[in-house]
Amino acid sequence: MTRKMAIKLLIDLLMTVLMLAAMAYNLTDNLVHELLGVFLLVLFLVHNAVNRRWYPAIPKGRYDAVRRINTAITLSLCVVMPALLVSGVFLSRDVFVAFGLEGGLWARKLHILTAYWGIILMSAHIGMHWEMIMGAVRKMSRTAPMTRRRALLLRVAGTAVAMYGAYAFFKREFGPKLFLSDTFGFWNYDEPAVFFFIDYIAVMGLCVWIVHYIRKLVQNRKRQSGAPRTSLDVK
């Protein structure tokens, strides 16, 4: 694996961790939450700078179903993430308070909407590149080649995570947050923090699982039809 690819994977991992930590607003101090958002913004800009060649390639080449899905997810993230971070600036009570901005209810609604769509789209983005990520991890860890038994165990584990993620999706009321029917929600302060992270990681795992297998299904149908293969641009 090249050094550039390792840097890309590290940036993506850090962004995922920061996004999860930022979602746990009620577990952190407001200042910590805002600093997490600032670091997330910096990494988002770095991520786009590292992958800057992807944008000029958008109108070029042939678009198959996989590339359409990948492009739609990526461009959606390019809208959602800046909106999330800008609304956070308007809601700031610590880091950007000197700007004197007053976001009000509209900023709160936008912040919650983009936060939940952000974590869904980020997971979908990971799902589109899951095979590449797993390949890179295997090279870094220098594990033995994939056997049928190991592949089966990984599929079973992934399906189990996805099934629990579906339960956690409803338990944590993602649906109302994604469509702004609930902008406040309930927080159980008696619940150990680990359960929160388990549920949110499982929801992310569900999204990764769905998108990964959608991509595999589309690719398998394409092979069966004998259509020419096209590469998926890294982004």
Give me the DSSP letters along 12-31: HHHHHHHHHHHH-GGGS-HH
Helix (H, G, I), strand (E, B) or coil at 148: helix
Distance CA 153, CA 89 (A): 44
Q: What is the pLDDT of residue 232?
A: 53
Is residue 161 assigned to a domain? yes
Is residue 230 assigned to a domain? no
Task: Choose the weakest-confidence range: 13-27, 75-89, 124-138.
Answer: 124-138
Is residue 234 assigned to a domain? no
Banded pLDDT at 118 (limits 50, 70, 90): very high
Q: Which residues contact 123 (CB under 8 A, 6 or more apart)?
A: 203, 204, 205, 206, 207, 208, 211
Distance CA 195, CA 169 (A): 13
Is residue 53 assigned to a domain? yes
Q: What is the pLDDT of residue 163?
A: 98
For the stretch 13-32, pLDDT in tens is 899 999 999 999 888 889 99
Please answer whether residues 94 and 87 qualify as being in contact, where contact means their C-beta atoms are separated by less than 8 angstroms. no
Is residue 158 assigned to a domain? yes
Q: Which residues contact 115 (CB under 8 A, 6 or more apart)?
A: 22, 23, 84, 177
Is residue 233 assigned to a domain? no
Indicate the DSSP class of residue 7.
H
Task: Choose the weakest-confidence range: 41-50, 136-145, 202-211.
Answer: 136-145
If you search the block for the tokens 């099934």, which residue do you land on? Answer: 163
The beta strands (E) that lie in the chain are given as: none
Is residue 16 assigned to a domain? yes
For the stretch 175-202, pLDDT in tens is 999 998 876 666 777 889 999 999 999 9
Whole-model pTM over 0.85: yes
Q: What is the pLDDT of residue 47?
A: 92
The tally of domains found in the chain comes to 1
Is residue 192 assigned to a domain? yes
Please answer whether residues 128 and 67 qualify as being in contact, where contact means their C-beta atoms are separated by less than 8 angstroms. no
> Which ranges constitute the DSSP H helices of the chain?
3-23, 30-50, 65-91, 104-128, 130-141, 148-171, 174-178, 193-225
Percent of residues, the chain, with pLDDT higher than 70: 92
Does the pLDDT of residue 233 top 60, yes or no? Answer: no
Record the tokens describing residue 6, joined without a space: 């390792």
Q: Which domain holds residue 71?
A: 3-225
Distance CA 122, CA 204 (A): 8
Percent of residues, the chain, with pLDDT higher than 90: 63
Record the tokens describing residue 167, joined without a space: 């339960």
Banded pLDDT at 92 (limits 50, 70, 90): very high
Q: What is the pLDDT of residue 229?
A: 55
